[in-house]
Amino acid sequence: MIFRALDIKANVRFGAWESMTSQLKSGDLDGIVFGTGFPTPALTQLIAAEPLDFVPPSADQIALIRKALPEISRSTVPAQTYPTQERDYLTIGLYNFAVAHKDLPGDFVYRIVKAVFDNREELVKAQSSAKETVPANIGRDELLPLHPGAARYYREIGVPIAVQQTQ
Question: Does residue 99 fall inside a structural domain?
Answer: no
Sign of CA dihedral 66, 68, 72, 78: negative
Provide mean pLDDT across the span 150-165. Answer: 85
Shared-domain flag, residues 13 and 88:
yes
Shared-domain flag, residues 112 and 83:
no
Q: Which of 24-28, 62-66, 129-133, 146-150 has the least mean pLDDT? A: 129-133
Q: Residue 166's pLDDT band (boundaries 50, 70, 90)?
A: low
C-alpha 30 chain-centroid distance: 24
Name the β-bridge partners of 75.
Answer: 91
Question: How wide is the angle at C-alpha 79 spanned by C-alphas 67 and 121, nearest 5°?
Answer: 85
pLDDT digits (tens, 9 = 90+) for 19-40: 888 888 888 888 887 777 778 8
Note the pLDDT of residue 68: 93
Shared-domain flag, residues 31 and 83:
yes
Shared-domain flag, residues 117 and 70:
no
CATH of the domain at 9: 3.40.190.10
| Average pLDDT along the chain | 86
Note the pLDDT of residue 116: 94
Shared-domain flag, residues 50 and 130:
no
Instruction: Assess contact for 139 and 155: CB atoms under 8 A.
Output: no
Shared-domain flag, residues 125 and 44:
no
Note the pLDDT of residue 62: 94
Instruction: Assess contact for 159 and 138: CB atoms under 8 A.
Output: yes
pLDDT digits (tens, 9 = 90+) for 141-155: 777 889 999 999 999
- pTM of the predicted model over 0.95: no
Counting the structural domains of the chain, the total is: 2
How far is Cα 59 from Cα 40, in angstroms, rounded to an integer?
24
Q: Where are the beta strands (DSSP E) in the chain?
A: 73-77, 89-93
- More confidently predicted of 75 and 60: 60
Question: How wide is the angle at C-alpha 93 spanned by C-alphas 18 and 6, nearest 5°?
Answer: 90
Angle between helices 17-26 and 41-49 (to 10 degrees): 20
Q: Which of 1-5, 140-144, 154-158 has the least mean pLDDT? A: 140-144
- Residue span of the structural domain in which 47 resides: 2-93
Question: Does residue 98 fall inside a structural domain?
Answer: no
Shared-domain flag, residues 30 and 58:
yes
Instruction: Assess contact for 113 and 153: CB atoms under 8 A.
Output: yes
